[in-house]
Amino acid sequence: MSKVEIIGVPQSTYVRVVRIAAEEKGIAYELNPARPHSPEVLAIHPLGKVPVMRHGAVALFESRAIAGYFDRAFPGPRLIPEDVVAAAETDQWVSLMNCSLHPLFIPYVFAYFFSGLPDRAPDRARIDASLAGVEQALGILDRGVAADGHLACDVRGERCRCRSASLVRQHHHPTRRCCRRASSGVRW
């Protein structure tokens, strides 16, 4: 079958998630660094969001759908556990991160990289205003890993890779150092 093509700007959180999932599975892929709303993205995603993916006749959008496809279509370590409860717990955390926690990080990250200030310096006022949301999100993650260091299943002593692909982007973000105290218990 043809090579996987991941389409989207490499700086995108969700493009990185899909690339991490491909790497975890050992999938060779080509990255097409198309911007959101570009013709090649709009050809697949009705809202023009990245990432999108092509693999032969298969065209998918949304990072969770793409990661699920990788997990089922390619050999290699499981990204999502086969156990129904463990899979549901993993989906629960991925959904929480995507729908509720990630939006708490966005104002913080944008204030650093897209401040809109004439000198392009980080916007301290917006950063400070967003810290409560970042601290809230990190607190939720801390409580989630408090019992055993895992957000969901620990299948046969191994972390479920799906969680790391979804959450590692926040934990290792270069601006993360100011919030390190709130996540000292997170095991990655």
Q: What pLDDT digit, counting tens, does each position of 4-45 carry?
A: 999 999 989 899 999 999 999 999 999 999 999 999 999 999
- Separation CA 165–CA 25 (nearest Å): 11
pLDDT of 102 higher than 90: no
Q: Are 146 and 185 in contact (CB under 8 A)?
A: yes
Helices (H) and strands (E) in the chain, counts: 7, 6
pTM here is: 0.73
Q: What pLDDT digit, counting tens, does each position of 114-168 carry?
A: 889 999 899 999 999 999 988 988 888 888 888 777 777 554 445 444 343 344 4
- Separation CA 85–CA 67 (nearest Å): 19
Task: Enumerate the β-bridge partners of residue 29.
Answer: 4
Domains of the chain: 4-73 (3.40.30.10), 84-183 (1.20.1050.10)
pLDDT of 66 higher than 90: yes
**Band of pLDDT at residue 90, cut at 50, 70 and 90:** confident
* Preceding amide of 51 cis, omega within 30: yes
Torsional sign, CA 31, 36, 39, 42? positive
pLDDT at residue 147, rounded to an integer: 79
- Separation CA 106–CA 13 (nearest Å): 10
Is residue 39 within a helix (H) or strand (E), and if so which, with residue range? helix 39-42
**Band of pLDDT at residue 74, cut at 50, 70 and 90:** very high
- Separation CA 99–CA 96 (nearest Å): 5
pLDDT at residue 144, rounded to an integer: 83
Instruction: Locate the DSSP E strands across the chain.
Output: 4-7, 29-32, 52-55, 58-61, 154-155, 158-159
pLDDT of 182 higher than 60: no
